Copies of this chain bind each other. A is one copy, B any other.
Amino acid sequence: MKKQQNILIIGAGLCGSLLALRLGQRGYNVSVYEMRPDLRKVDINAGRSINLAFSNRGNKAMKLVGIEDKVKTLCIAMNGRMIHDKKGNTFLSNYSGRDHEYINSISRGGLNALLLDEAEKHENVSIYFNKKCKSVDFKKTTALFKDYETKSEFIEDADAIIATDGAGSAMRKSYYLAKKFLFSFSQDYLTHGYKELSILPTQTGGYKTYKNALHIWPRGSFMLIALPNLDGSFTVTLFLSYDEGTYNFDNLTTPEIVSEFFQKEFPDALELMPNLVEDFFNNPTAPLGTVKCSPWHYKGNTLLMGDSAHAIVPFYGQGMNASFEDVVEFDAVLDQNLENWEAVFKAYESTRKKDTDAIADLAIDNFHEMKDHVANPIFQEKRKLEMALEQNFPNEYSSKYSLVTFNEDIGYHEAMTRGRAQDKAILNMIADKEINSNDDLKVILKKVKKATQDILDDDKIAGLK
């Protein structure tokens, strides 16, 4: 394919700006249209999560485009989950038994601004703001935009259009509504929604609670979490049912009830949040949804990438990482020098789809794990054992969490399959008292490996994998 081809990217969020940067580096003529104002000039954080979990898969993409060091300055390491019980007791549960494996809290805005700056350094990359995509004619390879400044509409064409316009993608909607091909599509909402709150910095700009952890207040059917920001604040998120349980979003309607709820369930968090009631009633309650679809591409004309193709719930901290990994995978397909865009899009989707399906399912699993299992004794024993295995056999054992989060050279689907089998093996061996924490670790490792392999083999024979 000729490098001088014109690529139109819809959306200059995290995925779109990274894709623009990478395609710019590869020599394509890239035009990016973004519906929001330039976030480097206007403050537009409202309604979207302020900070995000950034880990190995995301970092692999940063290495690919050569900005790993710049991104590092935006990161705050989170070594584990700091779990808070109702009495305010805390304990730290590391993410890995290997010290160099941790995740990071990063500012969405800061990272997006960096990616836009880097993309715009390329002459062959142009980014236009305040241009909202209304629909895509995938047969003609054209997109219809509304200019929010001039209020006029205009059509752009390109050799190929890639939509990175997020969970509410206009191009995905065009695929769905046009009914020109069989488009499999799902949107699945949890019965829980979320609301962002905050712990402000101390008067001297310090952190009011431990900085280097992802804080969790698990309460069985709901939970609160907090991630640190560079300015000393924490962004706090409440995950709660819309309409079930004693307290829910539908009935938390007065300052008194909200305060009562936090006093009863999260007293230590409430102490750090004198601004709770104000935040609670100022900030929106948003739904938690999973989107899957296929095909992502229409012939060689158009392609969905990032959240537009696979929006996931936030509980594995992998949403941004998965979208960045999309760009890494797409780049690898471009390296194969296939004959045309249709071959590229097809090859990309056929290798990538199983992995984005897997992280979507893993994220739902982790919703239940975080709000519930982390406070469960048998689960805690499993985690303790896995930490010991990772510490003592750093090259031989990785937990499901580590496979997903820290093993960027293993696809999500393989991480899920192996990780689930391991979890099942260990939980059953603990329950059946076939292993216990006093046993020799080498013996335990051998038993875990054998039981895991047996589970995988049995599933295979039953045609389940």
Are B187 and A184 closer than 8 Å at their CB atoms? yes
Given A373-B463, A463-B373, A458-B424 contact (CB < 8 Å)? yes
**Contact for A462 among B182, B187, B427, B459, CB less than 8 A:** B427
Question: Is A464's beta carbon under 8 Å from chain B?
Answer: yes
Given A373-B463, A463-B373, A428-B185 contact (CB < 8 Å)? no
**How many of chain A's residues have a CB under 8 angstroms from any CB in B?**
26
| Bound: A187/B186 CA distance, A | 6
Question: Is A1's beta carbon under 8 Å from chain B?
Answer: no
Q: Which residue in chain B gives the minimum CB-CB distance to A187?
A: B185
Chain B nearest CB, measured from A337 CB (Å): 24
Question: Is A287's beta carbon under 8 Å from chain B?
Answer: yes
Question: Is A431's beta carbon under 8 Å from chain B?
Answer: yes
| Bound: A458/B7 CA distance, A | 51
Are A182 and B427 closer than 8 Å at their CB atoms? no
Question: Is A461's beta carbon under 8 Å from chain B?
Answer: yes
Are A287 and B462 closer than 8 Å at their CB atoms? no
Question: Is A329's beta carbon under 8 Å from chain B?
Answer: no
Q: Which of A170-194 contact B (CB under 8 A)?
A: 182-189
Which residues of chain B come closer than 8 Å to A463, judged between CB atoms?
Answer: 368, 373, 427
Q: Which residues of A contact B (CB under 8 A)?
A: 182-189, 242, 287, 289, 292, 368, 373, 420, 423-424, 427-428, 431, 458-459, 461-464
| 28 A-B pairs (CB sep. < 8 Å) | A182-B242, A182-B287, A182-B289, A183-B187, A183-B189, A184-B188, A184-B189, A185-B185, A185-B186, A185-B187, A186-B186, A186-B187, A186-B188, A186-B292, A368-B463, A373-B463, A423-B462, A424-B458, A424-B459, A424-B462, A424-B464, A427-B461, A427-B462, A427-B463, A428-B458, A428-B461, A428-B462, A431-B461
